[in-house]
């Protein structure tokens, strides 16, 4: 189980997420961990966001693996997840 507020992923996922953040919410890039030390597909912490940012990501990020990671961290059931994603 991942630590609350952290998103874990591979180097490829880090790069994909960083690019998306740079284009859509650059102020959150300060919450990313340094890319140095990533070893291909080994999963490691990518970011450490406050709760408000996780909620924003659930509602706005198109990357399913990011939303899945956040839902797992907060142990969101189906209904709660839909609310965080802005759906009813």
The beta strands (E) that lie in the chain are given as 6-9, 44-48
Confidence of residue 82 (pLDDT cuts 50, 70, 90): confident
Per-residue pLDDT band for 38 (boundaries 50, 70, 90) equals: low
Range of the domain at 13: 6-30+42-84
pTM: 0.84
Token pair, residue 40, equals 């291909």
Chain-wide mean pLDDT for the chain? Answer: 87
Q: Are 57 and 31 in contact (CB under 8 A)?
A: no
Q: How many domains does the chain have?
A: 1
Question: In whole angstroms, what is the distance from residue 66 CA to residue 61 CA?
Answer: 7
């Amino acid at each position: 189980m991942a630590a609350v507020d952290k998103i874990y992923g591979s180097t490829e996922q880090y790069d994909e997420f960083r690019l998306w953040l740079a284009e859509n919410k650059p102020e959150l890039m300060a919450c990313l961990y340094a890319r140095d030390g990533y070893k291909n597909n080994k999963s490691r912490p990518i970011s450490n966001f406050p709760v408000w940012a996780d909620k924003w990501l659930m509602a706005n990020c198109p990357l399913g693996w990011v939303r899945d990671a956040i839902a797992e961290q907060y142990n969101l059931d189906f209904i709660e997840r839909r609310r965080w994603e802005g759906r009813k």
